[in-house]
Structure 1
Amino acid sequence: MSQTARSSHPLQLPKRSTLFDETCDRLGLSAAAREQVAAYVATLGKWQPRLNLIGPKTWADVWDRHVVDSLQCLDHLGTADEGRGWADIGTGAGFPGVVLALATGIPVRLVESDQRKAAFLLAVKTATGAPVTVVNSRIESLPPAPLDVLFARAFAPLPRLLDWCEPVIDAETTLILHKGRRAQDELDEAAQAFSFEAESFPSIIDSDSVILRLRNLRRRP
């Protein structure tokens, strides 16, 4: 089947999961915010056949595997500020950045180097009214201005991520990172070049995954 033919058949939107509703209740998401998230997922369903933005086998479980997986970041932000900005690095399909922007109303920069994915993210912004800015650029090309919070999900191994993101990180930046089974190995490797405070929280979605929170990050002399 051609790309054009496939792009004309949006995916059917799966029913919202019980865990999604429970998570929204726990975090205090308004009915309006939940509808905006639904509009985001519907837009993803329109673009997915053309761009393969998420793993095809995860579409049926999109509410938990991607949306709730994004929302759980809010459990681990602590007292993070927002004055210097939040950013989702290598955001791809927009998880977790779009979901977090819709859930909190806090502006999030979505950094994505792939032009087609950036076009999708602009379509999401139009469809949902999300307070996001789409930055079609590589992280290394961003101006050196430290962020308050940096998110990254399935982006790069931690040592490489810290090297690339160093210009937008300082000791006051909080990093919220989705990581898999190698999380501790990546922390050990990154600690050779950087000092930081790290906490690891079990994922509520995947028993093999964790959410890392890094603070007080500095490059070792």
Structure 2
Amino acid sequence: MILATEEDARRWVSSRPLPSGALEQLEALAPLLAVENQRQNLVAATSLDQFWLRHIADSLQLLWVSRETLPAGSWLDLGTGAGFPGLVVAIASPEREVTLVESRATRAAWLRHAAVELDLRNVVVVHQRLELVETIEAACISARAFAPLNKLLRLAARFSTPDTIWLLPKGRNARQELLEMPNRIQTMFHVEQSITSADAGILVGRGCPVIEKGRKR
């Protein structure tokens, strides 16, 4: 199933088992994003006309794309930027603590503002480069356009455990990035089809990767 329109995306989101009030919070996120996008370039302006498809459904699918049930526990979103997927995950999973890591001060400030406006008490915003973030054990780790896979895993492996689920939207480069990794990483991950684009893939994996700096194979 590939969602093609805003109507498709809204219908799909509405069909998800979301907590009470979540749809209203997602609705409220749209004008917050539009206003802030005039101050700083959070997302492509053209994507605001496809808010439910490009940002909400694209983020929300991570909760169901895995072949396995996602483990309970904290969620770590790397390079959150405009808040996708982190803010959407926090809305859909209020029982989880969702940590949003963002190195740019203006974007971190926006994330804190959005969390307050949406009453997301489960959100923690960390304004630091990932290398300087205190190590925590995350049940789930996500990253949307944060870094090439080799670098991402090398920087973020210390936050994972043998049971951690990785959810990494990689667009049309998903399969190629995985093929360029060592065999042990290729067996750890698989590619899932994104429901928001026929050309896009999501890398899904479980475990604690070991990456040797400067080596791919």
TM-score (norm 2): 0.87
Whether the 8 Å contact between 2:76 and 2:99 is mirrored in structure 1 is: yes
Whether the 8 Å contact between 1:87 and 1:149 is mirrored in structure 2 is: yes
Give per-residue Cα distances to partners, 1:13-36, cap 9 Å, x unaligned: xxx932233223321224511111
User: Is residue 2:46 matched to residue 1:57?
Assistant: yes
TM-score (norm 1): 0.85
Whether the 8 Å contact between 1:107 and 1:132 is mirrored in structure 2 is: yes
Summarize the alignment of residues 103-182 of structure 1 with structure 2, pairs less than 5 Å apart. 103-105=92-94, 106-130=96-120, 131-182=122-173
User: Is residue 2:73 matched to residue 1:90?
Assistant: no
**Aligned partner of 1:165: which letter?**
A
Whether the 8 Å contact between 1:195 and 1:218 is mirrored in structure 2 is: no
Cα distance in 2 between the residues matched to 1:178 and 1:97: 13
Whether the 8 Å contact between 1:195 and 1:217 is mirrored in structure 2 is: no
Structure 1: tracts of 5 or more residues without a match: 1-15
Cα distance in 2 between the residues matched to 1:200 and 1:192: 15
Evaluate the alpha carbon distance shift between residue 137 and residue 82 of structure 1 in structure 2; reply closer, same or farther with a 3 A threshold. farther
Give how far 1:220 is off.
6.2
Partner residue of 1:66? 55
Cα distance in 2 between the residues matched to 1:218 and 1:68: 28
Structure 2: tracts of 5 or more residues without a match: 213-217
Q: Give 1 or 2: higher helix fraction.
A: 1
RMSD, aligned CA? 2.0
Partner residue of 1:33? 22
Aligned residues: 205
Worse overlay, 87-96 or 30-39: 30-39
Choose which of 198, 202, 211 in structure 2 pairs with 1:207: 198
The runs of 4+ residues in structure 1 deviating greater than 4 Å are 192-196
Cα distance in 2 between the residues matched to 1:62 and 1:114: 23
SS at match of 1:219: coil
Give how far 1:115 is off.
0.3
Give how far 1:90 is off.
0.2
* Identical amino acids, percent of aligned pairs: 34
Whether the 8 Å contact between 1:196 and 1:215 is mirrored in structure 2 is: no
Give how far 1:169 is off.
1.8
